[in-house]
Structure 1
Amino acid sequence: MSKKRILITGKGSYVGSNFMIWLSQWPNQYEVEEITVRGEEWKEKDFSQYDSILHVAGIAHVSTDPKMKDQYYKVNRDLTIEVAKKAKNQGVKQFIFMSSIIVYGDSSSDIRVIDRNTVPKPSNFYGNSKLQAEEGLQLLKSDDFKIAVIRPPMIYGKDSKGNYPKLAKAARFLPVFPDIDNQRSMLHIDNLSEFIKLLVDNKEDGFFFPQNSEYVKTSQLVKSIAEAHGKKIRLSKKFNLILKSMIGNVGILNKVFGNFVYDKNMSDYKANYHIRNLKESIEVTENN
């Protein structure tokens, strides 16, 4: 059996780099390469030798500065479509695009469950740039060029960026943390890597919504992280009334204590990709 050849467009990305490490467990089955798509040099690359392209290049959700708006669309939408067109023209059979749950908007103070009938409604230009990239890709798909769009929730793992490391820092140093009832979908990087591997193996196309098997309550997540470091943290409901009244209006509180989940049925797949449960994922992430 010949090796599957995969090209990752977006050199040094968190998802791409971890996916390469994950596939190194099967050196006789996969050949993986990553390239940068900054500048113009990538346009000279021969894509025809690859079975699948994993496109992870993009600007992350880090800025609401209006001055950045054009750059988000240029990279997250226009570059994605340009890379996909080149892949299609050179005979690549599958294009996998890393989108985001953010195409559905932001978390909220109410329990918000996204299901297959939920219509995407981005609340910022990051989410909108991803959604417009998805729409552009759908115009390119054919029987010979499959498009797989992944809309992951918050991705975390060893050396991840975003909210998880901030919560991990709080877990290590705070003696008390607010005990607010909320639910979040999250996705450990190993579970995502296995999921992408399955998409490649099965030559999938369509929209996909992978998540951990368990929803996450922020306070319990923080407590589990503290325990992984041998520390005790007290959970308190003392400030809940004040915090709950602020969640919908204060961005950082919304990110930490808001609700944002996929209906679990959306995330079912014909093969198991849940390599790690929540407890194991935290231990792996926090273990030095």
Structure 2
Amino acid sequence: MPQTILLTGATGFVGGAILNRLHHENKHPVVVAVRDESRVPIQGVPKVCIKSFDGGTRWEEHLTGSDVVIHSAARVHVMNDVETDSLAAFRKVNVEGTLNLARQAAAAGVRRFIFISSIKVNGEGTVPGTAYAADDVPAPMDPYGISKMEAEQGLRELAAETAMDVVIIRPVLVYGPGVKANFLNMMRWLDKGVPLPFGAIYNSRSLVALDNLVDLVLTCIDHPAAANQTFLVSDGEDLSTTALLSKMAKALNKPARLIPVPSWILQSGAALLGKKGLSQRLCGSLQVDITKTRNLLGWTPPLSVDEALAITAMHFREHQ
């Protein structure tokens, strides 16, 4: 049965992909809530404009007739945050803004609220051979992760008090067409044939292709078993940084010029340069167990890592 959806964050990497899939499948009517209509990637989609996204935003008129809210808008994690009180800045949007929207959604009769959270709620890394599970005790270590955890807690309380159910999805690192930041930089280095000192990193990291994440989000729109559950999501294939770069180079049809520098040397050098966070992402492990997601929803990632990297590489080449 079609569900009328209000989607936030449609101008972002994940939200834009959710909108694109919803629009092309044409199964569920969708309205997007944005601050800048001109940035919505698809023309002709019904839009509502909001001036701000915080605890004071008025949503009532925009929620009328909505069955499901997919909330992907957020203040995202940034590497060089200039805020004097970073946690307060994250809380204003990610906690106060989220719970304000959710309360008004419940009052308007919205049936389901799907919240795109983050694996940072679980923590920053795992010991190789172990993996985070959806029902582990949260252990966020930075303001962004803390804000997402607090939003999750508030949503669960709201679900317990109202008729609206809540679905929480915690993605790991998301990659795909249009990816930015470090993933894009790595593709650029590989495409240019730059030798990289990442040929001897034996970590293990879970990633999720954008298409796989979107597929799970859409599965949760009307799956009865998703109600009031928390799901981790990945491609189901963990990779070392070395293996990822090798696969990425193959997708780009380029040689992988990877120099086997021991990871302890990379981590020591990064620490001296004040880049411990970057070295953790390159050399550390972060694995997730998606058994619950698979079993409860009967869901399997539709794309393999190789297929998803090929799509990502094709987009990269077309837009260089």
Matches within 5 A, 1:131-146: 131-142=149-160, 144-146=163-165
Report if the CA contact (8 A) 2:134-2:231 is conserved.
no
- Residue 254 of structure 1, aligned match among 275, 280, 295: 280
Report if the CA contact (8 A) 2:95-2:151 is conserved.
yes
The CA deviation at 1:75 is 0.3
Moved beyond 3 Å, runs of 4+: 63-66, 108-112, 238-241, 244-249
Partner of 2:107: 89
Report if the CA contact (8 A) 1:104-1:122 is conserved.
yes
Paired amino acid for 1:175: P
Partner of 2:90: 72
Give the paired residue count.
286
Residues in 2 aligned to 1:211 and 1:13: alpha-carbon distance in whole angstroms: 19
Paired amino acid for 2:29: E
The CA deviation at 1:30 is 1.2
1:164 aligns with 2:190: no
Paired amino acid for 2:248: I
Residues in 1 aligned to 2:17 and 2:58: alpha-carbon distance in whole angstroms: 22
Residues in 2 aligned to 1:108 and 1:252: alpha-carbon distance in whole angstroms: 16
Report if the CA contact (8 A) 2:12-2:73 is conserved.
yes
Residues in 2 aligned to 1:117 and 1:137: alpha-carbon distance in whole angstroms: 16
Report if the CA contact (8 A) 1:192-1:273 is conserved.
no
Partner of 1:235: 258
Partner of 1:12: 11
- Tell me the secondary structure at the aligned position of residue 232 of structure 1: coil
Partner of 2:242: 219
The CA deviation at 1:46 is 3.3
Report if the CA contact (8 A) 1:9-1:57 is conserved.
yes
Paired amino acid for 1:189: L
Residues in 1 aligned to 2:182 and 2:292: alpha-carbon distance in whole angstroms: 24
Matches within 5 A, 1:145-184: 145-173=164-192, 174-178=194-198, 179-184=200-205
User: Cα distance 1:241–1:131, how it changes in 2: closer, same or farther (>3 A)?
Assistant: closer
Paired amino acid for 1:135: Q
Partner of 1:60: 76
Of residues 184-193 and 137-146 in structure 1, the stretch that sits farther from structure 2 once superposed is 137-146
Of residues 275-284 and 54-63 in structure 1, the stretch that sits farther from structure 2 once superposed is 54-63
Residues in 2 aligned to 1:244 and 1:110: alpha-carbon distance in whole angstroms: 17
Structure 2 unaligned spans of 5+: 35-49
Report if the CA contact (8 A) 1:76-1:130 is conserved.
yes
Paired amino acid for 2:306: K
Report if the CA contact (8 A) 2:60-2:104 is conserved.
no
1:278 aligns with 2:305: yes
- Residue 31 of structure 1, aligned match among 29, 32, 47: 29
Structure 1 unaligned spans of 5+: none
Report if the CA contact (8 A) 1:183-1:215 is conserved.
yes
CA offsets per residue over residues 176-199 of structure 1, 9 Å max, x none? Answer: 441200111111111111111110
